[in-house]
């Protein structure tokens, strides 16, 4: 091979898909051996930001394990700089980091000598002993790092997302340092994966189909969105620079970028950069760094980078690059998704709406794909209609669908069957199980009738000026009983919440509707077949919803553990459901 011959550092393979953001889906395959052959030790500096906010919800031991895993990358240590962003300013976290610095003198040589993976001490010893959403990282960590290490590549992770693949940095550099296409990319996004999922993923947290199919489609049509963690950024792109077609950015020339200043002077400079008033009357938070003012700041930031003509790429190596902690209670999941969907909807209703903000800046298909996620919250309206109206009409004797004997029932049957059969096939193809698919469908129903509903309501209140922006941190700790029930794949209720009031009321409403339908069929034998013919689809829909809600009925009436539905929720839901049925009938 000639010295100056171009050698691609990654390969793109085409995959066909059926819907908009899966058209022409692609899979990227980086070649890290070529990276080493081509550049040797001429690799750029990497700045890593680990973010935490509350030592009670995000224990320092977890933060320390994440930081140590970042320090243990298979990468020249003199070119790695790890920063901890602690919005809580916790002394406990600070002293834990001091202890971690001492432990790293033993842990890092151990990792390199034995090629340890995962590189988190807690995760490594946990797996070795077995038989064979944080607040967004602030722009001030960007500014301070530019004065200390100034690495041209920035990696950001949440405090619970430890490094699981020692080669992740090199994978991303195969993109940034590709001599033909590398200068086009502003960030490289890795999947958000979890190490505590149950066998059948009881809360549907894996985003299995989204990450195995949909995001690859986004990659082919302009690039994936930024999801807030596990993402490598080009510093210039993140700091507001627009992509220029003929501009060439040589990362090799930025190896020795650390600033040579006296410690005292550097400390004073960093204090100024970190002050709350530094950003006043500047473009920080508007065009530079993270875009402020949204619960989903990551989505807006990624969109802004793409609208400055930078591309993005999705890398999904065989070994997960990062592993985090998924919610282990239902309320944690619903609150988390409320925040996400609320943020997405606020983006759609703001000046950053992809359809308008991305006009003539990013491809139409990518703008439409963004909207599919931005409008998740709006799904609550259609879902609530199908959960509530057919049931009440059944009790009232109002038919909504064609008769079973009518040929017009065939389109309904075809759409329902083909959609769910294809959905199941996709899920199994992506490595899931049948029970996992059932759990996934259940969680989509729960989220659409609670999280999405509250997200829509909160967004409307915010637009009217009756609500302020708030960021809710998902707790990363749980007591032993909750963890045990989670491992047994029992849905955790256990506390009162308006979301549980809605779930329980809807479940009982469909149970009453099913009982009413069965009564009509069995008590009037001469009219039984006529009732089935006229209301067959509505009865089937109610029975499907009852089946989906079986864990809710168990929690309401049969479970005796602390994870059951609180009695107050049971009483309220029965009253609300009976009231709705009474009003519907009379």
Whole-angstrom CA distances from 45 to 4, 48, 183 are 24, 10, 17
Polymer length of the chain: 586
For CA atoms 409, 410, 416, 420, the dihedral sign is positive
DSSP letter at 377 equals T
Active site residue 501: no
* Runs of H (alpha helix) within 166-296: 168-176, 208-209, 215-220, 235-238, 263-274
Annotated catalytic residue within 178, 183, 219, 298: 298
For CA atoms 481, 486, 488, 492, the dihedral sign is positive
DSSP letter at 554 equals I
What Rg value do the Cα atoms of the chain yield, rounded? Answer: 26
CA distance 523 to 493: 37
Q: For residues 36-57, b (16+ Cβ closer than 10 Å) or e, as one string?
A: eebeeeebbbbbbbbbbbbbee
What does the H/E/C string look like for 146-174? HHHCCCCEEEEEECCCEECCCCHHHHHHH
Cβ(317)–Cβ(166) below 8 Å: no
Beta bridge partners of 483: none
Q: Give Dmax over CA atoms of the chain in angstroms.
A: 95
CA distance 119 to 110: 10
Cβ(351)–Cβ(357) below 8 Å: yes
For CA atoms 159, 192, 441, 412, the dihedral sign is positive
CA distance 171 to 191: 13
Whole-angstrom CA distances from 445 to 9, 459, 502, 545, 549 are 43, 20, 12, 9, 10
Closest CA to 330 of 192, 193, 202, 160: 202
Annotated catalytic residue within 74, 87, 501, 533: 87
Active site residue 298: yes
Note if the bond before 584 is cis, omega within 30 degrees: no
Percent of the chain as helix, strand, coil, to the nearest 5: 55, 10, 40
Q: What are phi and psi of 420, to 5 degrees?
A: -75, -35
Neighbouring CB atoms inside 10 A of 390's CB total 23
What is the DSSP track for 60-122? HHHHHHHHHHHHTSSS-GGGEEEEEEETT--HHHHHHHHHHHHHHHHHHHHHHHHT-SS--HH
Catalytic residues, by residue number, are 87, 298
């Amino acid at each position: 091979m000639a010295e100056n011959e171009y050698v691609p550092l990654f390969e793109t393979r085409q995959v066909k898909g059926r819907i908009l953001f899966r058209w022409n889906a692609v899979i990227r395959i980086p070649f890290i051996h070529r990276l080493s052959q081509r550049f040797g030790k001429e690799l750029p500096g990497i700045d890593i930001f680990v973010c935490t906010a509350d030592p009670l919800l995000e224990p320092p031991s977890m933060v320390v394990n994440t930081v140590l895993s970042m320090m243990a990358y298979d990468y020249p240590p003199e070119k790695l700089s790890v920063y901890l962003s602690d919005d809580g300013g916790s002394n406990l976290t600070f002293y834990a980091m001091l202890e971690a610095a001492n432990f790293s003198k033993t842990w890092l040589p151990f990792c390199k000598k034995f090629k340890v993976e995962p590189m988190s001490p807690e995760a490594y010893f946990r797996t070795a002993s077995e038989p064979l959403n944080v607040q967004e990282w602030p722009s001030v960590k960007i500014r301070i790092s530019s004065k200390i290490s100034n690495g041209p590549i920035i990696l950001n992770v949440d405090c619970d997302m430890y490094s699981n693949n020692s080669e992740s940095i090199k994978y991303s550099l195969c993109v940034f340092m590709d001599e033909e296409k590398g200068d086009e990319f502003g960030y490289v996004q890795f999947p958000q994966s979890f190490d505590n999922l149950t066998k059948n993923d009881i809360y549907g947290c894996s985003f299995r189909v989204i990450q195995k199919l949909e995001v690859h489609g986004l990659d082919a049509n302009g690039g994936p969105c930024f999801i807030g963690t596990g993402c490598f950024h080009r510093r210039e792109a993140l700091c507001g620079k627009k992509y220029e077609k003929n501009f060439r950015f040589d990362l090799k020339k930025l190896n020795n970028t650390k600033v040579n200043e006296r410690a005292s002077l550097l400390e004073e400079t960093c204090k100024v950069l970190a002050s709350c008033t530094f950003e006043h009357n500047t473009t920080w938070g508007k065009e530079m760094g993270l875009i402020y003012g949204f619960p989903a700041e990551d989505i807006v930031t990624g969109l802004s980078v793409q609208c400055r003509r930078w591309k993005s790429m999705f890398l999904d190596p065989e070994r997960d690059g990062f592993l985090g902690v998924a919610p282990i209670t239902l309320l944690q999941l619903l609150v988390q998704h409320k925040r996400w969907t609320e943020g997405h909807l606020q983006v759609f209703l703001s000046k950053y709406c992809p359809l308008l903000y991305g006009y003539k800046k990013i491809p139409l298909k990518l703008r439409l794909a963004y909207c599919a996620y931005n409008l998740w919250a709006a799904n609550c309206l259609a879902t609530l209609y199908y959960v509530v109206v057919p049931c009440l009409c059944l009790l009232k004797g109002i038919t909504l669908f064609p008769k079973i004997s009518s040929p017009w029932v065939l389109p309904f049957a075809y759409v329902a069957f083909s959609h769910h059969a294809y959905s199941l096939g996709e899920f199994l193809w992506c490595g899931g199980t049948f029970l996992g698919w059932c759990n996934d469908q259940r969680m989509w129903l729960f989220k659409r009738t609670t999280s999405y509903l509250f997200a829509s309501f909160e967004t409307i209140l915010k637009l009217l000026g009756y609500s302020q922006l708030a960021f809710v941190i998902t707790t990363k700790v749980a007591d032993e009983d909750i963890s045990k029930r989670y491992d047994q794949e029992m849905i955790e209720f256990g506390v009162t919440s308006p979301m549980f009031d809605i779930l329980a009321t809807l479940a009982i409403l469909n149970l009453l509707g099913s009982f009413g339908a069965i009564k009509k069929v069995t008590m009037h034998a001469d009219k039984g077949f006529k009732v089935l013919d006229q209301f067959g689809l509505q009865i089937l829909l109610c029975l499907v919803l009852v089946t989906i809600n079986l864990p809710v009925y168990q929690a309401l009436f049969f479970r005796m553990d602390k994870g059951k539905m609180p009695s107050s929720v049971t009483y309220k839901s029965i009253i609300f459901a009976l009231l709705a049925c009474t009003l519907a009938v009379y």
